A and B are shown apart, each in its own frame.
Chain A
Amino acid sequence: MSLTPSKMEEVLNKRTTETVEKKQQVEKVLIICARGTLEDVYAALIMANGALAEGKEAKMFFTFFGLDAINKEKSDHLHTATVGNPAFMRGMPTMIGGLPGFEALASHMMKKEMDKLDIPPVSEFLEMIEAGGGEIYACKLAADMFHLKKEDFAPEVKDIITVGQMYDLAEGEGVQIIFV
């Protein structure tokens, strides 16, 4: 069967109306954070906290380098990548980004800007999320790989869980899983 342009338009319009009718609210988010760079971790935290602020449920699962965000020693010292990040200071030669101390300087400046917007340090953000009823988990496999134990993580980390248990967190209706 071939679709004429007008027929196609009709089909598309129909689908749009159906989508509108079936509008399902997001009621819960499961946010998986597998990255340890400043901007990725903040994206995950802001989305989780934002969900709670809207009256939705939020659960977070940190894995691989994302574990840095919940590591007591590292959470408030995350960096942003100045090398291999074409969006960072467009036009700047990559070699400059590799100079010693440059990444620390860039990260420091970024944190200063965030502070102006009332964006808290990572450790405080974790506290806020817990206070808002959010739940924070670490990935068992990654924790084993990096030789990390419960006591290495921020007190807000509820448990170290497997991927199967992570999916259990996403049970129910109106759930969205977001991967960072």
Chain B
Amino acid sequence: MNQIMEALTINGVNIDLNEEGYFTNPSQWSREIAIELAKDANIELTDKHFEVLEFLRAKHNQEVQLTIRKVGKSGIVDIKQFYALFPGGPLKVSSKIAGIPKPVSCV
């Protein structure tokens, strides 16, 4: 699963990604890298985006399984805003940009 398929270099930093484009090493993440990754998804990151990304990373560090519902209850965004900030599958897209593994929840 976590086989490294691709190594990206953004701003001189090497990033290891798996075959689906998720980070295999979340510690390689930085805000600058997030900005570049978001451009790939046609998203221009705002402070609100970063609040969500930081929330996801914090929860990931606490080993909490993330769901869209949990983000909706974070107090940062509601579910509708979450979909609007990260179009095309909010939790997947945001996890990718937040440098954490692909979410595995069904809800």
CB closest chain-B residue, reference A119? B107
In the assembled complex, the CB of B106 is this many whole angstroms from the nearest CB of chain A, namely 6
Complex interface: chain A residues within 8 A of B72 (CB): 128, 131
Interface residue count on the A side (C-beta < 8 Å): 16
Does B88 count as interface, using CB distance less than 8 angstroms?
Answer: yes
Contact A55 B67 (CB under 8 A): no
Contact in complex: B89, A118 (CB < 8 Å)? no
Q: Contact: A132 with B83, CB < 8 Å?
A: yes
Bound-state CA distance A120–B88 (Å) is: 22
Q: Contact flags (1/0) for B69-107 with A, using CB distance below 8 Å?
A: 110100000111001000111111100000000000111
Q: How far is the CA of A144 from the CA of B88 in the complex (A)?
A: 37
Query: Using a CB-CB cutoff of 8 Å, which residues 89-132 of chain A contact chain B?
Result: 117-120, 127-128, 131-132
Assess A131 versus B78: contact at CB under 8 Å? Given A53-B92, A55-B92. yes
Tell me the residues in window 11-50 of chain A with beta carbons closer than 8 Å to chain B beta carbons.
46, 49-50
Q: What's the dominant secondary structure at chain B's contact region?
A: helix
B56 within 8 A of A: no
Q: Is A54 an interface residue (CB 8 A)?
A: yes
Interface size class of B (residues with CB under 8 A): 20 to 34
Give CA–CA (A132, B85) in the complex, Å.
Answer: 12
B92 touches A49 (CB 8 A): no
Contacts of B68 in A (CB 8 A): 49, 53, 128, 132
A117–B105 alpha-carbon span in the complex (Å): 9
Q: A118-B70, A128-B72, A131-B78 are in contact. Are A46 and B83 (CB under 8 A)?
A: no
Contact (A133, B83) CB under 8 Å given A53-B92, A54-B92: yes
- Residue of A at shortest CB range from B91? A53
Q: Complex formed: what's the CA distance from A65 to B105 in Å?
A: 28
Q: Which residues of B contact A117 (CB under 8 A)?
A: 107
Residues from chain B with Cβ under 8 Å of A131 in the complex: 72, 78-80, 83
A sample of 14 inter-chain contacts (CB < 8 A) reads: A46-B106, A49-B68, A53-B68, A53-B90, A54-B89, A55-B92, A118-B65, A118-B67, A118-B107, A128-B79, A131-B83, A132-B79, A132-B83, A133-B83
Q: Which residues of A contact B (CB under 8 A)?
A: 46, 49-50, 52-55, 117-120, 127-128, 131-133
